[in-house]
Amino acid sequence: MEHPEPEWWLRTFSDEVVEKLNHTVMVMPQWNDPTFFAGIPQLYAGLHTYETTGAKFEIAMTDDEFRSFLNECKNNYSKVIRKMLNFYDLQNNEEVKELEAAHDVFIENTLASKYLQLSELIRDWIENIGRPELEKVEHNSKDEMDLMSMLGSICMEKKQFDEAESFFRESSSMREEFLGEFHFDTLRSINDLASVYCRLGLYGKAEIIYEANLCRCQQCLESGNPLLLETMSNLGAVYRNQNKTEMAEPLFQDCLLVCEKYLEPGHPKTLMSLLNLARLQGSRGNHKDAGILFEDCLAKCEKHLGSDHAITRSCKARLTLNEKCLKDSHVMTLDEIEIANLLEKVNENGLNCRGSLEAQISLVLHIQEQDLLNMAYCLCASCLLRSELLLVRHDPLAIIIVVAVMASL
């Protein structure tokens, strides 16, 4: 397949040409079969038009399709977005390989940023249609509860934690009243509320909620239920983050035993449980025992998940850090644990995406507080270079990165 030279695309979609389009409406037809965005040129052209003109993003569908679409979003809006983007595999896409071979360029990272940008556009559009729907639905109905949960999850992703807390608190309270405290949706909503407090670092609040919810889950769910495993794991993480390692260990051990009994050896939940145990040993200063667990976990991750999976990358980062601590006979301080957690977020997200930049800037700010300005400047410079590829000029994160660079000089 032949592709136009890059200069053709630059001429055709230059700022001057695109600006003449004035008010543009981007339409993404057939949300459950998105053939329009299957090609790379369309992805670039569409997003460049949006950025340059301030286009309005819409998804075309009939009224019946809208109902179906919204119902699927209420169940799992992230899954809907992945479906809309057709699970676009940039690493193995033949069109990417042909373009790279023809023009001797490596474009995967830039494409990944465009893919992420389109994903965020769809997410924001779902939020924009979900909020008016919330005003229309019957009060105390299942539709209202489901919409609140969906909007709470979107707010969490956008780091609007106060609003996420409000949505999750109200939906969990309504579900407890009308569905009962042991209903699956009630238990899931309560976990959602606790997760907000975890993201805010309010581990004491999260601990109280998770402990109560774990008791409920143990009474009404089978031992291999994913929600029960999630609650056990999350409570263990809350204990670990408060240095209550003696309380975290039995939860992580139970999680691993249950996963090994009910799930495949290479299931992500099984491997995550093993990684949690390794991390716990490391936080206790038992770096030799932690190293054995990390190596075992890494071998299984690479075998079953591949080297690029988030859990694999996280395990590699933790193993490297553990080896350094073991070599230096060093027990990590709380500040170092915080830095390690931020580095892990960078590794989990991959280097070239918005989530990685956000985690790395958090790391920069943490290092600046300790007056390690040379290290902070190096990290800032790296962020600045990648932000020019990933972000538009007016993005608040781009501004934060520039300010962080200046503060490190």
At 380, list the tokens.
């800032």
Decide if 235 is inside a domain.
Answer: yes
DSSP 68-82: HHHHHHHHHHHHHHH
Question: Mean of the per-residue pLDDT values for the chain?
Answer: 75
State residue 84's pLDDT score.
Answer: 73
User: What is the spatial distance between Cα 163 and Cα 153, in angstroms, rounded to a whole number?
Assistant: 10
CA distances from 172 to 136, 204, 282 (A): 20, 19, 36
Among 136, 165, 188, the domain-final residue is 136
Decide if 383 is inside a domain.
Answer: yes
State residue 37's pLDDT score.
Answer: 46
pLDDT tens digits, residue range 324-336?
777 766 555 544 5
pLDDT tens digits, residue range 195-215?
999 988 899 999 999 999 999
pLDDT tens digits, residue range 236-288?
999 988 889 999 999 999 999 999 998 888 999 999 999 999 989 888 888 88
Decide if 340 is inside a domain.
Answer: no
Tell me how many domains the chain contains. 3
One domain for residues 116 and 143:
no
pLDDT tens digits, residue range 364-408?
555 555 444 444 545 555 555 445 444 444 455 554 545 454 444
One domain for residues 110 and 203:
no
Decide if 342 is inside a domain.
Answer: no
CB-facing half-sphere around the CA of 317: CA atoms within 13 A: 21
User: What is the spatial distance between Cα 70 and Cα 275, in angstroms, rounded to a whole number?
Assistant: 36
One domain for residues 108 and 143:
no
Decide if 267 is inside a domain.
Answer: no
pLDDT tens digits, residue range 139-163?
999 999 999 999 999 999 888 999 9
State residue 406's pLDDT score.
Answer: 47
The reply to whether the predicted model has a pTM over 0.85 is: no
Tell the residue number behind the tokens 């579900």, with chain if given: 175
One domain for residues 170 and 194:
yes
Of residues 18 and 291, the one with the higher pLDDT is 291
Of residues 24 and 238, the one with the higher pLDDT is 238
One domain for residues 132 and 203:
no
68-99 core/surface letters (b: 16 or more CB in 10 A; e: else): ebbeebbeebeebbeebbeebebeebeebeeb
Among 240, 263, 294, the domain-final residue is 240
One domain for residues 69 and 123:
yes
Tell the residue number behind the tokens 């909007």, with chain if given: 151
Among 206, 221, 240, the domain-final residue is 240
pLDDT tens digits, residue range 83-122?
776 644 444 555 555 555 554 444 444 555 666 777 888 8
- CATH code of residue 175: 1.25.40.10
One domain for residues 132 and 144:
no
Decide if 323 is inside a domain.
Answer: no
One domain for residues 74 and 147:
no
State residue 250's pLDDT score.
Answer: 95
One domain for residues 126 and 29:
yes
Kind and range of the H or E run holding 405: helix 396-408
One domain for residues 387 and 400:
yes
Decide if 281 is inside a domain.
Answer: no
Q: How buried is residue 159: exposed, middle or buried, by Cβ count under 10 Å (0-12/13-18/19+)?
A: exposed
Q: Please provide the distance, in angstroms rounded to a whole number, between the alpha carbons at the two ends of the chain.
A: 48
Yes or no: say if 390 and 351 are a contact pair by the CB < 8 Å rule. no
What's the DSSP call for residue 391?
S
Residue 101, classed as helix, strand or coil, is: helix
Q: What residue numbers bound the domain in which 395 lies?
A: 350-409
At 319, list the tokens.
């193993």
Decide if 27 is inside a domain.
Answer: yes
